[in-house]
Structure 1
């Protein structure tokens, strides 16, 4: 009998996309949920799941947080003139105290703020952002080695049952 997978999102939320590269490239510590300022055609494109986190990060300027480098593909049924730039910076909706706290931690400790997943919550688009410390090549190899060892031991335990 197969095991049920753990739910990635809470009940009442619909996952749009997850940034798998963030877990591979960064050690993630603090997570926070933020709203996102979007146009209507971008929301329709997100409902289809057409988003790419490839080089996404959060930039702070003038007391505001901006999501930069996330590609939301244009919606096909939108007129050419109404389509926004797919790579445009998008404003994150956070309280000012949350912005200053994340900005201070990112500047002091040399951390990056990266988006980890995007989902719908009560009809609104939300982005989960996290503080991340970049991994070096050695720590990436150690993670791969630990995963391989865990997989091998699980196979051996399954063989003895």
Structure 2
């Protein structure tokens, strides 16, 4: 059977985009078990509470990623909330470790997808937003929408 081509998104972490200021982004492979891959291919995963950390041995681990048990699995089904190893180059891990070591920074997954048949996760170094940051972002978004509406109304009335 030929290998899949292209990209198929399984899950996105919309909460992370709202709660954090996103910095540098990386694409990482994941070490998965067979039933985890089957559950992901069925489109089942949740990135809501997930985060990543670099351990003392220079390995990156993803915690709290919820991949439900495969419905047609046997007694050898995977654990739902186990930690999963991320595959990055040594240079990427070193840079990720340096950036996340600063106070108030964390590594959050943004999306989980299949790229050319391989499971990938997009991670980013992020800093938490305060409540007033979130309100300001909402105000800016609303102002931008109003400006676009006004511009489209001008164009619409200008043509008539």
Question: How does the TM-score come out when normalised to structure 2?
Answer: 0.89
Offset, 1:109: 4.9
Q: Does structure 1 residue 77 correspond to structure 2 residue 83?
A: no
CA distance in 1, matches of 2:77, 2:140: 45
8 Å contact from structure 2 (residues 104, 128) kept in 1: no
CA distance in 2, matches of 1:96, 1:104: 12
Structure 1 residue aligned with 2:22, among 5, 19, 28?
A: 28
CA distance in 2, matches of 1:138, 1:48: 39
In the alignment, what sits opposite 1:64?
Answer: 59
Q: Which runs of 5+ in 1 are unaligned?
A: 1-10
State the secondary structure of the residue aligned to 2:18: helix
State the secondary structure of the residue aligned to 1:82: coil
Q: Which runs of 5+ in 2 are unaligned?
A: none
CA distance in 2, matches of 1:39, 1:76: 15
In the alignment, what sits opposite 1:137?
Answer: 131
State the secondary structure of the residue aligned to 1:72: coil
State the secondary structure of the residue aligned to 1:71: coil
Aligned residue-pair number: 150
In the alignment, what sits opposite 2:122?
Answer: 128
State the secondary structure of the residue aligned to 1:53: coil
Deviation digits for residues 26-83 of structure 1 (CA, Å, limit 9, x no counterpart): 110100010000011111111111100111100111211000011011110001x211
Q: Calculate the aligned-residue CA RMSD, in Å.
A: 1.3
State the secondary structure of the residue aligned to 1:74: coil
State the secondary structure of the residue aligned to 2:101: helix
Offset, 1:145: 0.5
In the alignment, what sits opposite 1:4?
Answer: none
Q: Does structure 1 residue 93 correspond to structure 2 residue 80?
A: no
